[in-house]
A and B are shown apart, each in its own frame.
Chain A
Amino acid sequence: MQEQERFFNDLVRQYSEQLYWHVRGIVGSHEDADDLMQEIFIKAWNALPRFRGDSDPFTWLWRIATNESISFLRKARVRAALSFTRIDAEAERISDPSPYFDGDKALRALRKAIAALPDKQRLVFTMRYYEELSYEQISEITGTSIGALKTSYHIAYEKIKDFLTTTD
């Protein structure tokens, strides 16, 4: 048990900040990312007895975080639809998380474009563009083939380009 706790605390020390930015990149708002960090590490702690020592802790943690973040977004969208909030209004909320947004107008527009992407494209774009993860790493985390990831990234890139051109 003490061994497990030590390992868990090492994970927290080593990865919590980087993981926060991963989650923040997906969900946008600081408050949502902060709540999710608790959920993710509770899940990680509960799953620790099943964690195989030969696996990469980075991939393992990122997989938990990605699944939690996507699940959070799906629920948020369904809730928004049920409360008659248009999806673009929800995207607006996600892309405008003041007061912890310190970008200019162009960066705000970019975040808005990313927030309007479907989950998979948003995920791939965020992991490539902001986190600079390799397609191999993203493939291990998401369980998607490298070819499919490249296609998703390309489509996301084109959609963002269109969005930024039309909103100029």
Chain B
Amino acid sequence: MKKNMPYSTPEGYFEGLQNRLSEIPARKSRINLTPYLALAASFMLAMLAGNYILMKTTASQPASDDEIVEYLIDSGMTLAQLEDEIYNY
């Protein structure tokens, strides 16, 4: 499989990787909330959403790097256009 690929991995990497990946179902099902917890979570979510909307409408927060990256990708701007904008600024 690793034909011509000039890469290696740390010693015993694949055993560790398989173990970590096999833990995903258990980790995900631990997050499986009981109905009461789900109710509490929904309440918290509503509170957070309200708080978020309040923050958005009362103070302007600078966008994070991730938000800017997502926005640029969604806008359909090509990398060449982006570079032009940056280097001709």
Q: Report which A residues bind B (CB closer than 8 A).
A: 1, 4-5, 8-9, 12-13, 16-18, 20-21, 24-25, 30, 34, 37-38, 41-42, 45-46, 74-75, 77-79, 81-82, 84, 87, 97, 100-104, 107-108, 110-111, 129-132
Proximity bits, B52-89, A CB within 8 Å = 1, else 0:
00000000000001001100110000010011001000
Q: How far is the CB of B44 from chain A (nearest CB, A)?
A: 22
Residue of A nearest to B82 (CB): A81
Assess whether A100 is in contact with B17, with CB atoms less than 8 Å apart.
no
Supposing A16-B14, A17-B1 touch, asked if A45 and B28 sit within 8 A by C-beta, the answer is yes
A18 to B60, CA, bound (A): 47
Query: Which of B2, B5, B82 has the most CB atoms of chain A within a 10 A radius of its CB?
Result: B5
Supposing A1-B29, A30-B9, A100-B10 touch, asked if A81 and B18 sit within 8 A by C-beta, the answer is no
Given the complex, which residues of B lie within 8 Å of A45, measured CB to CB? Answer: 24-25, 28
Whether, in the assembled complex, B8 has its beta carbon less than 8 Å from a beta carbon of chain A, the answer is yes
Assess whether A41 is in contact with B21, with CB atoms less than 8 Å apart.
yes
A37 to B61, CA, bound (A): 33
Given the complex, which residues of B lie within 8 Å of A74, measured CB to CB? Answer: 73
Q: How far is the CB of A34 from chain B (nearest CB, A)?
A: 7
Residue of A nearest to B32 (CB): A1
Assess whether A129 is in contact with B25, with CB atoms less than 8 Å apart.
no
A-B contact count (CB 8 A): 96
Q: Which residues in window 1-60 of B have CB below 8 A to A?
A: 1-10, 14, 17-18, 20-22, 24-25, 28-29
Q: How far is the CB of B60 from chain A (nearest CB, A)?
A: 20
Q: How far is the CB of A67 from chain B (nearest CB, A)?
A: 13
Assess whether A16 is in contact with B3, with CB atoms less than 8 Å apart.
no
Assess whether A38 is in contact with B86, with CB atoms less than 8 Å apart.
no
Assess whether B73 is in contact with A12, with CB atoms less than 8 Å apart.
no
Assess whether A79 is in contact with B3, with CB atoms less than 8 Å apart.
no
Assess whether A102 is in contact with B69, with CB atoms less than 8 Å apart.
no
Supposing A12-B22, A16-B17 touch, asked if A21 and B5 sit within 8 A by C-beta, the answer is yes
Of A37, A81, A101, the residue contacting B7 (CB under 8 A) is: A101
